[in-house]
Amino acid sequence: MPSPKPPILLTSAQLRRLSPHFPLSHGVPRVDDRRVLSGIIYVIRHGLQWRDAPVAYGPHKTLYNRFVRWSRLGVFDRIFAALAAESGPPERLMIDSTHLKAHRTAASLLKKGLSPAASAEPRAG
């Protein structure tokens, strides 16, 4: 059974909002921006490698090259900044610290019976 065709994720209205931030094409017109951006979103959303992108979005090399080129040019940064500015300041900010790592010597402090709270107070002897 053939796999279902992946959806085009951007509507025409959404593409019109984003297109002012696209760089101008010099000479040869770009392939369908809507299809390629939908492919980039699909790959990132599903955590795929570029070569695993569905063929309906075009060649995986096109998706990858456009993503890298536009990332280096700051196109996605401008898009995100413009979209964030439309909604105003957030009510809450959250920080995710799952990527923070302790220095390797921090583990040895626990083995010696020291913790940050215990080391702040003088030890009774």
Write out the chain's pLDDT in tens, 125 residues.
556 677 878 888 998 999 999 988 887 778 788 999 999 999 999 999 999 999 999 999 999 999 999 999 999 999 999 988 888 887 888 877 776 666 666 666 566 666 555 555 555 55
Give pLDDT, residue 36: 92
DSSP 51-106: GGS-GGG--HHHHHHHHHHHHHHTHHHHHHHHHHHHH-S-S------TT----HHH
Residue listed under structure tokens 């940064």: 77
pLDDT at 88: 80
The pLDDT of residue 85? 87
Structural domain boundaries in the chain: 32-87
**Residues with Cβ < 8 Å from 42, sequence gap 6 or more?**
6, 9, 48, 53, 54, 57
CB atoms within 10 A of CB 67: 19
Q: What is the pLDDT of residue 123?
A: 55
